[in-house]
Structure formats: structure tokens, C-alpha cells
């Protein structure tokens, strides 16, 4: 069993950009052990002054759209421009086996072997939108380690992407052309959240269908304005195979960053995200305390069979359990 480092050793390693210690620190943040979680929180607090200077980009899209391929090509382009890039790639967790493939490093082989880049695959667990519960901590640790751009890849299996939207500065949606009615499968919610849409795999015979899809998507975006930040989402064409359009995607992101920083939106958005993070943490901690409570566990075990059989309404038992938990707090 690997010996756990001290808080000072973790912090010093991260400050120096040590990728091995960074990986160990993220593992610490992902641990379910109370002692690990406490140390991880102290570590994030310790390096907090070194965070906040990176550009955080969320990337999502349906399976098969080529998210990993795009991220590798896009990341390599940024490395060539002198950027240090971290990729937090969230793998889907099986609802049956509870396992996760964690294959992003094999799908981004060139990026994974470049010392200027850092790739961290994490299991999504059961969190909203397939985003690892500790992705926020991992993002801050990567920022403290000196990475300029943080790319957060989500599962993209039709779940709500609100979670990733609430932790990044720019939200990028990847789509394909020629896969039927492009607008048919687009949910209003994800279109409203996207700051830009990239039609991917635009090479070979796919150029003409992509141009048509671009017009359709751009028209659809007019239905979802972003008045609070005065930004009209753009639709771009790109190919990771040829490199076409990748620089335009980056230029658009830089334009967005500058425009938001020139207004009050940038810092207001990050401030709101920090509050959301705190509220999520409160719910998480309360949930853990609730499920660990001995009286709650005893009632749950004894009454669960009635819920299974249909004799007892799930909501009734849930309320009884909560009332029991709260009553113990009032007696203290």
C-alpha cells in the first residue's frame, strides 16, 4: 500500500508541477475515506491562491461524435501554441457492474505521452450529467499545478449537462452532420447552455451536409439567446483528421473570454459556481451523515421490505427517516 504524503509534500509537489504527485492528489480527492477527504479539502485550501488563472472548457456531445479525437487534436494544437493542457475525462460508470472502462488515455495516446499535457480519466459514478463528484477539486489542483487550459469531457449520453456547465467558463457542444434530422434529437436545455457548437468530422464527402447542418443549427440558436451575457452562440465546422477549423474554435473561445472579462459576467459566473459548489457539498455531506446514522439505518432496514412489496409508499418512508434524523439533531 502506497504511503500517503503529508499536506506539505502534496502542496509542494503540485506547486512544482509534479504530475505524479498531482495524480496522487486527485486520487486522494476521489477517495471515499473520511481521512482522505479531509486531507484533500485541506490541500485544495492550501493551493487555492494559485488557482483561478486557467481557462475552463467543458466539451460534450453524443457518443460517436468524436469527443476524445477532437480533444486530442485540439489539445495538441494548444500545446504547439505554448499552452499547458489538462484533460479531465469522465468515463461512464455501468449501472450494473458499477465499473468504468477509463480508456481515455488510450484514445488520446499522443496527448497522453506529451509532458506538457495531463490526462485524468475518472469514473462518473452516479452524479448528475456523468461528471465525477470530485471533478471540481481535480480542476483546481490542475490549475495550481500550472496548467493554462482545463478541458472537461463529459459522458454525453443524454443526461443533464448542468453539472459541467456549473464548473466551466465555456461550454462546447459537438455534433455530427448527416445523421438524420439534426435538430430532431437536440434538447432545448443543452442548446441553451452551449456557448458554441462544433459540427465535427467535416472531411471527405461530409462537407456539404455539414454546411447545411450549420445553417440549421445557427437558426436554432436564434431561439435560445443569452441575454445575461450578451453572447450569440456560434456554429463552426471542424475536422480532427485534417485539423480544419480547430484554430477558429480556439479563436472563438478567446474572443468569448475577452468579451466576458470586459463585462461583469466572468467573475460573477465564477462566484456563482463557487456558491453552487458549496451547496452541492452541503447536500453530499448531509446525505453521507444521514445514511451513516444508526437509527436511520435500522428503520430503513426494517421498513424497506414494505416499500418493495408496495405496502408502503416510498415518500412516506423517506419522510419518516428524515424526521427521525432531524429529531436526533434537535435532542443534542
CATH code: domain 1-49 is: 1.20.5.170
Identify the H or E element spanning 53.
none
CA distance 316 to 314: 5
Q: What pLDDT was estimated at residue 97? A: 37
* pLDDT averaged per 10 residues in sequence order, the chain, 332 residues: 82 95 93 88 96 95 87 96 92 44 58 89 54 81 97 70 86 80 56 89 88 86 75 93 96 97 93 90 88 95 95 96 88 62
The full set of domain ranges for the chain reads: 1-49, 51-263, 276-331
User: Would you state the cell numbers that stand for residue 15, as one nine-digit string?
Assistant: 506547486
| Other residues' Cβ atoms within 10 Å of the Cβ of residue 169 | 20
The answer to whether 1-49 and 51-263 have equal CATH topology is no
CATH code: domain 51-263 is: 3.40.50.300
CA distance 304 to 134: 30
Phi-psi region of 201 (alpha: psi -120 to 50; beta: other; left: phi over 0): left
Q: What pLDDT was estimated at residue 193? A: 85
CA distance 161 to 174: 13
DSSP-derived letter for residue 311 is S
Q: Virtual CA dihedral for 244, 245, 246, 248, nearest 10 degrees?
A: 150
CA distance 73 to 241: 8
Q: What pLDDT was estimated at residue 61? A: 85
Q: Which sign, positive or negative, has the C-alpha torsion 10, 88, 112, 36? A: positive
Residue closest to 90 by CA, chosen among 48, 51, 59: 59
Amino acid at each position: 500500500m502506497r504511503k500517503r504524503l503529508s499536506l506539505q509534500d502534496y502542496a509542494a509537489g503540485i506547486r512544482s508541477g509534479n504530475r505524479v504527485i498531482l495524480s496522487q492528489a486527485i486520487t486522494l480527492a476521489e477517495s471515499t475515506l473520511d481521512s482522505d477527504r479531509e486531507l484533500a479539502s485541506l490541500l485544495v485550501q492550501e493551493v487555492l491562491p494559485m488557482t483561478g488563472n486557467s481557462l475552463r472548457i467543458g466539451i460534450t456531445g453524443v457518443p460517436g461524435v468524436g469527443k476524445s479525437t477532437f480533444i486530442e487534436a485540439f489539445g495538441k494544437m494548444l500545446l504547439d501554441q505554448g499552452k499547458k493542457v489538462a484533460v479531465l475525462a469522465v468515463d461512464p460508470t455501468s449501472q450494473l457492474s458499477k465499473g468504468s472502462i477509463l480508456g481515455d488515455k488510450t484514445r488520446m495516446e499522443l496527448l497522453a505521452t506529451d509532458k506538457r499535457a495531463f490526462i485524468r480519466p475518472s469514473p462518473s459514478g452516479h452524479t448528475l450529467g456523468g461528471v465525477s463528484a470530485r471533478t471540481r477539486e481535480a480542476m483546481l489542483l490542475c490549475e495550481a499545478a500550472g496548467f493554462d487550459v482545463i478541458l472537461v469531457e463529459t459522458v454525453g449520453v443524454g443526461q443533464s449537462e448542468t453539472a459541467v456547465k456549473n464548473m466551466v467558463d465555456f461550454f462546447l457542444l459537438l455534433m455530427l452532420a448527416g445523421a438524420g434530422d439534426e435538430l430532431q434529437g437536440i434538447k432545448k436545455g443543452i442548446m441553451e447552455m452551449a456557448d458554441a457548437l462544433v459540427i465535427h468530422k467535416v472531411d471527405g464527402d461530409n462537407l456539404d451536409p455539414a454546411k447545411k447542418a450549420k445553417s440549421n443549427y445557427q437558426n436554432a440558436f436564434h431561439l435560445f439567446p443569452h441575454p445575461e451575457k450578451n453572447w450569440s452562440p456560434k456554429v463552426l465546422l471542424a475536422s480532427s483528421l485534417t485539423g480544419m477549423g480547430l484554430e477558429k474554435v480556439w479563436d472563438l473561445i478567446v474572443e468569448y473570454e475577452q468579451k466576458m472579462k470586459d463585462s461583469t459576467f466572468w467573475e460573477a459566473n465564477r462566484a456563482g459556481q463557487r456558491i453552487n459548489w458549496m451547496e452541492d457539498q452541503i447536500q453530499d455531506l448531509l446525505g453521507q451523515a444521514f445514511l451513516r446514522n444508526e437509527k436511520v439505518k435500522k428503520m430503513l432496514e426494517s421498513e424497506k421490505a414494505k416499500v418493495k412489496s408496495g405496502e408502503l409508499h416510498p415518500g412516506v418512508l423517506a419522510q419518516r427517516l428524515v424526521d427521525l434524523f432531524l429529531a436526533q439533531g434537535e435532542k443534542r
